[in-house]
Structure 1
Amino acid sequence: MYEIDSLETTNSRLFGGAIFLLLGFLALETISWAWAGLFVGGLIAWFIAFRKDSFKVSTFPRRLWLIPLGVIAYLVLGILIGLITRLLGFEWASNPASGKLGSIIFMIPFMLMGEELLGIGILEGAKSKGFSFLTSSLLSALIFGLMHTFSYWDGSIVSTIAHVLLLQGVARLIFNYVYLKTGRSIWGSWFTHVLVDLIALSFTSR
């Protein structure tokens, strides 16, 4: 995988950005009305960490065909992983938003942009410290997956960790790849993320 230039930042700015990402995530998880917590925290975090370089990832995505391809790739992998893990005896918790699509549909774009600001923020932060894109993407996927642990807790640490790494972690890898290949555009990964969640929630809301 080819290398990309790093966004300009410093250790202190990255630390400040991480604090606001964490605060935004905690608000989202613990305060019922703070559904935009991660979105707001993410915007502040990016301004602190990357300043004007933040705009480098906000370009209109190229290769738009990669967006539906990313959606299909995740849905196929998700179905296969689900089938295999059921055969192995795992009973994973469903999406907490299942059956609520109608009541949260206008919140979804902001909530998922918050998740993109976090996932891509970790990727770009690691990249700025000299890690390769692959290593940075794996770190992003690991943290992104683990942040879903409480949402998908099923009573077993092994089952829950397997769930969030194999589904949410793999999803992050796909979103990161789309981000890179659509011209380092956070809109590319966001569009993919929104479509994946809308399709998944449409089926579970029936």
Structure 2
Amino acid sequence: MTKKRSLYLFFLTLIIGLTYQFLPYSGLNQSILNVVGSIWNVALAGLAAFYLSKTEFLQQFKHLKFLAILWGIPLTFAVGIAFSTIYNLVIGQATTNSIGSIITIQMVLLQVPFMLMGEEVLSTNILIALQKQGISFFWSSIICGILFALWHIPAYGFHPVQLLATLLPTRLALNYIWKKTGSIWNSWICHFVYDLIGFIGFFVK
């Protein structure tokens, strides 16, 4: 992938992630919106990456490191819980994900996996594109983490400090897992398990 194509990938991914935020205002029927919202990021960001960065994009899907799951999941939980706890102690009780008011078992099984893979593709597109521009993985990951956090404003409300304090570190952990394994499956599994455990709290209330 050339630097020019990586720049296209970066900005196209930004646009895809941004337009996703406005889907609820599209006027679509709720059942249609559920389907479109589930596949929007993974389909569009995936197509963008396939066209602009085919080799790098496909490479991350070619393997799964099972042993990495054994340390990846605990790492994700450790980082997520630690920074959420620190935020709650220092700033105050964080707002919860608005998905809690509509979450169902069917949604967890049929929609969430695609939604989270969409978030992973958005994130790895950013990482791949920025590193191709000569930016280090560290700074690429920071930029990716900031965008990831802000992309969650519709879910948590406009609380940028909270999102940056709690979601950015978790994204950094997932980025590290992806970088260490070279597999988007590893970061996706860790992401899914982390969110799945979080969703349990919505069902037991």
Same topology, TM > 0.5: yes
Question: How many angstroms does 1:191 deviate by?
Answer: 1.0
- Please state whether the residue corresponding to 2:97 is helix, strand or coil: coil
The question of 1:165 aligning with 2:147 is answered no
Partner of 1:45: 48
Structure 1 unpaired stretches of 5+: 1-7
Q: 1:15 aligns with which of 8, 15, 40?
A: 8
Question: How many angstroms does 1:54 deviate by?
Answer: 1.8
- Please state whether the residue corresponding to 1:65 is helix, strand or coil: helix
- What is the correspondence of 1:94-113 to structure 2 with a 5 Å cutoff? 94-98=96-100, 100-105=103-108, 106-113=110-117
- What is the correspondence of 1:55-134 to structure 2 with a 5 Å cutoff? 55-62=58-65, 64-98=66-100, 100-105=103-108, 106-134=110-138
TM-score by length of 2: 0.82
Q: Which amino acid aligns with 1:205?
A: F
Change (3 A) 1:136 1:76: same
TM-score by length of 1: 0.82
Answer 1 or 2: which has greater helix percent. Answer: 2
The question of 1:151 aligning with 2:149 is answered no
Contact 2:145-2:168 within 8 A present in 1 as well: yes
Change (3 A) 1:163 1:65: farther
Change (3 A) 1:16 1:59: closer
- Greater relative contact order structure (CA < 8 Å, 6+ sep): 2
C-alpha RMSD of the superposition: 2.2
Count of residues paired in the alignment: 192
Structure 2 unpaired stretches of 5+: 25-29
Identity %: 26
- Please state whether the residue corresponding to 1:58 is helix, strand or coil: coil
